[in-house]
Amino acid sequence: MSDTKSGVTLPVLPLDDDVVLPGMVVPVDISEAEVSAAIEAAQAVESAGKGAAGRAGGKPRVLIVPRVDGSYTGVGTVALIEQVGRTPDGDPAAALRGVVRARVGGVTTAPATAVGRSSGDVLWVDATTHDDAAPEGGYPGRVQELAREYKTLLTTYLQKRGAWQILDGVQQIDDAGLLADRGGYSPFLKTAQKLELLETYDVSERLGLLVEWTRAYLAELDVSETINKDVQEGVDKQQREFLLRRQMEAVRKELNELSGKPGSEEEDYRGRVEAAALPEHVAKAALAEVDKLERAGDSSPEAGWIRTWLDTVLDMPWNERTTDAYGIGEARGVLDADHSGLDDVKDRIIEYLAVRKRREEKGLGVIGGRRSGAVLALVGPPGVGKTSLGESVARAMGRSFTRVALGGVRDEAEIRGHRRTYVGALPGRIVRAVKEAGTMNPVVLLDEIDKVGSDYRGDPSAALLEVLDPAQNHTFRDHYLEVDLDLSDVVFLATANALDTIPGPLLDRMELVELDGYTEDEKVVIARDHLLPRQLEKAGLDASEAALTEDALRLIAGEYTREAGVRSLERSIARVLRKAAASVALGERELPLTVDAADLPDYIGRPRHTPESAERVSVPGVATGLAVTGAGGDVLFVEASLADAESGASGLSLTGQLGDVMKESAQIALSYLRSRGAELELPVGDLKERGVHIHVPAGAIPKDGPSAGVTMTTALASLLSGRPARSDVAMTGEVSLTGRVLPIGGVKQKLLAAHRAGIGTVLIPARNEPDLDDVPDEVLEQLTVHPVSDVREVLALALEPAHSTQTVAVQEGSGAAASA
């Protein structure tokens, strides 16, 4: 091998995808033919002993040239073959130490000393070496500064790796060039970066590259260490928690075996919670309680509370929903089959179903977390079918049905639940209703909502405000559960007998549907199609053994019972059938039997509600009025009398348990007649000296309201004029001091009451005329309704025509006649 001051001829030892820098000592596998041939060629030249040109320190030399993607680079490293031998595994290997950089000039022929000593696969090249020796006077300050910075970064890296021996060697390096070439040992540098270091002759540039790359890697290493630390802490925590739970399970197993109680799968609350597919917020709360349960001992009272709470949460139908039946025609058929009449209610339910179906078809079923639930208030007298209508609505919609009885509830906790800190705490009735229904979208009937009370324990009606508010009930929070419960898809039906006892804010959250009672024809149909078959079954009879004719049912509805609903009607039918069954058992009658109207006295006695208007108003001073009570519409009579002039009585007396408003109506009626007596041709002059007494019979029943004003005025006018009121006329309306007839409420119920009582003519305020649209046509056909706006019209229609003899008699002795 020839050698010059800067040029050498050396065999090439190719190194695939790796780079050796000067100063590095690397092992090389010489089992490959190319590598082995290069080693043998270098050894041959060294063995020939051709002077220093082929040797360096008496050791063979090779030119290590990186080969990237099958191509040789233009720069390599002159390396000494320090040792050739075998690895501990027995594979042939050589240890090479880089000495100096060399730029490949061109391919040449092998020296004569190497010919025949190698395999012939060796590539010989001419190369120019480059020495990195420090210049005289040392490196410039910039190079020394970069060297210190790189040494600091390299020290940090080696400390992180725990390579303390290598760190000691690095600390002893004073040569900047040698320090820069030590970067070839850095495992985080890529082959391209090491090759860039090899091709960079300037020491300052090499150090700058190494500082930049090492700083970036350390920053990345810090982030990676932070992430790994967090992950490791999480893994350690999970492993520790897993081990502790297994230990707890083992301890509990041992305790169960000692106590003779084998473990149960049902007691594994954590597994039950994880398998229950609860909503995310519910599952999070449940797992937190499970953690508390596992930390608490069996003797802790808190453990029992937690188990009860978990059982309640797990029993809730969080993911259960029934599919609504959207056949509108079929739904109407179900409602018609279950209830006769009540068209307003049925129309409202059908409207709700139709709108809900359209929303579902347009993808508007859930908006903002809220679904399209409904809140309807069914208000009407007892026995009209409000409660049973809830079941029919549930059947029509294909939903589960549950009933919540609110009558007499006075504790707010009955609605919102009790706090878990109390002994025997339970969720509220709303949560229990949803749990019993088994779905999150049932039909819930809030029965007798007008009879909710309040005391020192709170106001349940105030707690119902959130339950029945469609804008709030999608996040209803029960005090016991303490997790959000979505009630927005629940259909709430509230029933009430009267509106005046329902708080205004609560009533405002419900859609009002009034059930004003049944006509006589509707009662007959209900009795024939529903009540009679049900009572036949209860009496152990069938339709072929016993029957009631339609005339008998009509007589029971008209004269044996007088109500807005049908409960008394059903009880009367039940009495007839029980009497029939008893008489058959005693041998007094034989089956089959048919009960006609004429047979009813033998079964249930004589009628108790016969028309009495003609008898009651046969004398002056009595008028027939109409009123609304909790049991529906009713007929009331107002009686008036004048005290004898010699008795010394004066002023106005009122009896019959009248309320303040009704007393004021009597005062207004008397004041009006006093001021308009001459105009109405009534002898009112002696009213100052004779006391006036107004009485409303059924004195045990409290009465109040302004609608009896025209009735009181008519009774007083009848008394003063001596003209009896017409027996077939009933009236309602508030009267003013100027004689105006003002509007009132409950027109439909009052007209139904008049119809039941056999009255043919009804006087109502003119401003209530639009309310006639709600009255059934069959009732209007049998009534003559006169809208009136002034008391003069009322008196003209309500009083019998005047007779001179009657007028004289009344003027002379009206007190005695009126007292009758």
Which residues form the catalytic set? 707, 750
295: β partners: none
Contact yes or no for 123/13 (Cβ under 8 A): no
For the chain, give the number of residues.
Answer: 820
**What span, in angstroms and rounded, lies between the C-alpha atoms of 210 and 273?**
56
Q: Is 383 annotated as a binding residue?
A: yes
**What span, in angstroms and rounded, lies between the C-alpha atoms of 652 and 664?**
11
Contact yes or no for 36/45 (Cβ under 8 A): no
Q: Is 380 annotated as a binding residue?
A: yes
35: CB partners within 8 A, 6+ apart = 13, 14, 28, 29
Contact yes or no for 402/431 (Cβ under 8 A): no
Closest CA to 395 of 487, 490, 330: 330
> What ranges make up the beta strands (E) of 697-816?
729-731, 734-735, 741-742, 761-765, 784-788
**What span, in angstroms and rounded, lies between the C-alpha atoms of 245 and 805?**
107
**542-568 exposure pattern, b = at least 16 Cβ within 10 A, e = fewer:** eeeebbbeeebbbbbbbbbbbbbbbeb
Q: Is 385 annotated as a binding residue?
A: yes
Closest CA to 688 of 674, 704, 677: 674
The burial class, CB within 10 Å (0-12 / 13-18 / 19+), for 649 is: middle
Closest CA to 778 of 513, 566, 522, 527: 522
Q: Is 776 annotated as a binding residue?
A: no
* DSSP assignment of 338-382: H-SS-HHHHHHHHHHHHHHHHHHHTT-SEETTEE--EEEEEE--T
Q: Is 382 annotated as a binding residue?
A: yes
342: CB partners within 8 A, 6+ apart = 384, 385, 389, 515
190: CB partners within 8 A, 6+ apart = none
Q: Is 565 annotated as a binding residue?
A: no
Question: How far, CA to CA in Å, does 649 sit from each of 644, 645, 692, 793, 794?
Answer: 8, 8, 9, 32, 30
Residue 412: phi, psi to the nearest 5?
A: -60, -30
Q: Is 262 annotated as a binding residue?
A: no
Annotated binding site for ATP, which residues?
A: 380-387
Which residues make up each annotated binding site? Answer: 380-387
